[in-house]
């Protein structure tokens, strides 16, 4: 990878060319100076472009291969920029991208090449999970490949290395998108009734997901200091994630909009107060053996992670013959309840912590369409009721006028 050093008004770009026969590192360097009047954004863009070109030993994009360019993309736009979970997912996707397209020049990768790659991912036996020779990648997994490749290609367009993104309008084969699983109001009410017999920490976790619509990682990141019992609010400012490489880690929430304050209902606050008393007694008894810090969702001195909550809830639902759609289904439940009650999309988006209201509109388009239909029915009902009144009112007026004349 090239290293860039600012030197006064110019920049030095250095690239390693391996080692000579004596084991000494060989380095190439060049100096690039911005043109007068360039903005900082223009300087950054052109500097990155010059670094890529110099690293490839070319003055044009004609010799730049996809694999080294994507590694550059990781260095400048992924590593230390995106969330740990996204970085890990992107890294997992590079294997097949490099295998099929990594050797190709950036300027030679066409829409047809990308489409052929996506079709290849749809073939039988492509998945390395399980023993079934006919194992396929899911349509969702294939879309992840396309999204990753498109992000890298968009960066190439931004650097003027290619004129257009070849990932546009690519068709993904596979079954149609399955209907989103969501708990009904009756199912949630029944589940919470059964959880009255469960360990308090498990019941509280399910209530948090259902009552607030928060993400499971946001709930797991909850600490007692985040709860304002006086005003009944939760200052949501961290989330817990997990990857194979990093293990369980604490990070900021998914987006800036996800850092938010949520009003907690009295029922949830009451549960919190009761559980805090239980946990305080347990913490006092364990002393130095307590490992969970200030985290709310812990018991036995240990912090509960995502797999612990997921697996426990799955077993509980199975025992009580309740459908289990996953922990994220509680978030969908909360969202549909708000939308169905007529809460405006901007408010629902703020409660859920979506970056933009358009995200909420896209995810819950079906529920919002149903609400639109109901809204039109209300208008029709109002007009028709008013119409009925106008049919009777003139008669009354006429009769009244006759009596006055008499």
Q: Is the pLDDT of residue 156 over 50?
A: yes
Model confidence band, residue 401 (pLDDT cutoffs 50, 70, 90): very low
Instruction: Tell me, yes or no, whether 257 and 376 share the same domain.
Output: no
Helix (H, G, I), strand (E, B) or coil at 13: strand
pLDDT confidence of residue 398: 45
Q: Is the pLDDT of residue 400 over 60?
A: no
- Report the number of distinct structural domains present in the chain: 3
Kindly report the CATH number assigned to the domain that includes residue 115.
1.10.150.130
H or E segment to which residue 396 belongs: helix 365-405
Using CA atoms, how far apart are residues 248 and 251, in angstroms rounded to an integer?
10
For residue 15, the cross-strand partners are 28
Q: How far is CA 159 from the centre of its chain?
A: 27
pLDDT confidence of residue 94: 96
Instruction: Tell me, yes or no, whether 304 and 209 share the same domain.
Output: yes
Q: 3-state SS of 365-380?
A: HHHHHHHHHHHHHHHH
Instruction: Tell me, yes or no, whether 105 and 230 share the same domain.
Output: no
In a domain, 48, yes or no: no
Residues of the chain above pLDDT 70, percent: 88
Contact at 8 Å (CB) between 297 and 219? yes
Mean pLDDT of the chain: 87
- Give Cβ neighbours of residue 53 (< 8 Å, ≥ 6 apart): 59, 60, 61, 64
Conformation bin of residue 8: beta by default, left when phi > 0, alpha when psi is -120 to 50: left
pTM for this predicted structure? 0.72
Contact at 8 Å (CB) between 17 and 5? no
Kindly report the CATH number assigned to the domain that includes residue 343.
1.10.443.10
Instruction: Tell me, yes or no, whether 158 and 249 share the same domain.
Output: no
Q: Is the pLDDT of residue 402 over 80?
A: no
In a domain, 111, yes or no: yes
pLDDT confidence of residue 232: 97
Q: Given CA atoms 156, 162, 167, 169 in this order, what sign does their dihedral have?
A: positive
Q: Which class for 59: exposed (0-12), middle (13-18), buried (19 or more C-beta within 10 A)? A: exposed
In a domain, 65, yes or no: yes
In a domain, 406, yes or no: yes
Using CA atoms, how far apart are residues 376 and 349, in angstroms rounded to an integer?
23
Using CA atoms, how far apart are residues 100 and 113, in angstroms rounded to an integer?
9
Instruction: Tell me, yes or no, whether 83 and 163 share the same domain.
Output: yes
Residue of 308, 179, 167 lying closest to 248 (CA atoms): 308
Using CA atoms, how far apart are residues 78 and 272, in angstroms rounded to an integer?
38
pLDDT-wise least confident of 45-49, 96-100, 220-224? 45-49
How does pLDDT run across 169-187, given as a tens digit for each residue? Answer: 999 876 555 567 889 999 9
Contact at 8 Å (CB) between 297 and 303? yes
pLDDT confidence of residue 61: 54
Instruction: Tell me, yes or no, whether 223 and 327 share the same domain.
Output: yes
Q: Given CA atoms 343, 344, 350, 354 in this order, what sign does their dihedral have?
A: positive
Using CA atoms, how far apart are residues 122 and 375, in angstroms rounded to an integer?
42
How many CB atoms lie under 10 A from the CB of residue 161? Answer: 21
Angle between helices 365-405 and 328-340 (to 10 degrees): 10
Model confidence band, residue 125 (pLDDT cutoffs 50, 70, 90): confident
Residue of 92, 159, 157 lying closest to 127 (CA atoms): 92
pLDDT confidence of residue 335: 94
In a domain, 3, yes or no: no
| Domain range enclosing 291 | 185-360
Q: Is the pLDDT of residue 269 over 90?
A: yes
Contact at 8 Å (CB) between 298 and 283? no
How many CB atoms lie under 10 A from the CB of residue 153? Answer: 24
What size, in residues, is the chain? 406
Using CA atoms, how far apart are residues 159 and 94, in angstroms rounded to an integer?
21
Residue 298, CA distances (Å) to 199, 219, 246, 294 in order: 11, 12, 21, 9
Residue 316, CA distances (Å) to 193, 319, 325 in order: 12, 5, 13
How does pLDDT run across 300-321, given as a tens digit for each residue? Answer: 888 898 899 999 999 999 999 9
Angle between helices 66-73 and 40-55 (to 10 degrees): 140
Using CA atoms, how far apart are residues 356 and 351, in angstroms rounded to an integer?
11
Q: Is the pLDDT of residue 322 over 70?
A: yes
| Report for 40-54, 78-92, 111-125, 218-232: range of highest mean pLDDT | 218-232
Instruction: Tell me, yes or no, whether 207 and 343 share the same domain.
Output: yes
Instruction: Tell me, yes or no, whether 207 and 279 share the same domain.
Output: yes
The whole-number average pLDDT for the span 39-65 is 78
Using CA atoms, how far apart are residues 364 and 366, in angstroms rounded to an integer?
6
Q: Is the pLDDT of residue 396 over 60?
A: no
Helix (H, G, I), strand (E, B) or coil at 25: strand
Among candidate residues 156, 178, 200, the one where a domain is terminated: 178
Dihedral (Cα; 307, 313, 317, 323), 10-degree rounding:
-60
Model confidence band, residue 399 (pLDDT cutoffs 50, 70, 90): very low
Instruction: Tell me, yes or no, whether 88 and 127 share the same domain.
Output: yes
Contact at 8 Å (CB) between 105 and 63? yes
In a domain, 8, yes or no: no
User: What is Dmax (Cα atoms) for the chain?
Assistant: 125
Contact at 8 Å (CB) between 316 and 195? yes
């Amino acid at each position: 990878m090239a290293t860039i050093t600012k030197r006064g008004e110019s920049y030095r770009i250095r690239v390693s060319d391996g080692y000579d026969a004596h084991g000494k590192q060989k380095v190439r360097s060049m100096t690039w100076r911005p043109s007068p009047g360039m903005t900082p954004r223009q300087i950054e863009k052109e500097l990155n472009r010059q670094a890529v070109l110099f690293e490839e030993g070319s003055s044009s994009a004609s010799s730049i291969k996809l694999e080294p360019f994507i590694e550059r993309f990781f260095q400048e736009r992924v590593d230390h920029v995106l969330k740990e979970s996204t970085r890990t997912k992107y890294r997992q996707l590079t294997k097949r991208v490099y295998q099929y397209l990594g050797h190709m020049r950036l300027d030679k990768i066409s829409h047809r090449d990308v489409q052929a790659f996506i079709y290849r991912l749809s073939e039988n036996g492509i998945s390395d999970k399980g023993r079934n020779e006919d194992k396929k990648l899911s349509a969702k997994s294939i879309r992840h490949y396309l999204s990753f490749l498109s992000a890298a290609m968009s960066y190439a367009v931004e650097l003027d290395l290619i004129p257009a993104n070849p990932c546009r309008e690519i068709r993904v084969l596979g079954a149609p998108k399955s209907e989103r699983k969501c708990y009904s109001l009756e199912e949630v009410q029944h589940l919470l009734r059964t959880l009255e017999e469960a360990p308090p920490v498990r019941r509280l976790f399910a209530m948090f997901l259902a009552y607030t619509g928060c993400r499971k990682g946001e709930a797991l990141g909850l600490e007692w200091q985040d709860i304002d019992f006086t005003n009944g609010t939760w200052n949501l400012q961290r989330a817990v994630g997990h990857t194979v490489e990093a293990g369980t880690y604490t990070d900021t929430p998914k987006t800036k909009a996800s850092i938010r304050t949520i009003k907690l209902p009295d029922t949830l606050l009451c549960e919190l107060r009761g559980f805090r008393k239980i946990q305080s007694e347990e913490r006092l008894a364990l002393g130095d053996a307590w490992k969970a810090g200030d985290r709310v969702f812990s018991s036995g001195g240990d912090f509960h992670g995502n797999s612990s909550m997921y697996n426990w809830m799955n077993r509980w639902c199975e025992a009580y013959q309740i459908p289990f759609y996953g922990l994220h289904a509680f978030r969908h439940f909360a969202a549909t309840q708000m939308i169905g009650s007529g809460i405006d999309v901007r408010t629902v988006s703020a409660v859920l912590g979506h970056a933009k209201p358009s995200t909420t509109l896209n995810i819950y388009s079906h529920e919002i369409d149903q609400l639109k239909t109901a809204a039109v029915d209300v208008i029709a009902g109002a007009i028709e009721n008013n119409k009925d009144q106008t049919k009777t009112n003139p008669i009354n007026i006429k009769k009244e006028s006759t009596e006055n004349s008499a």
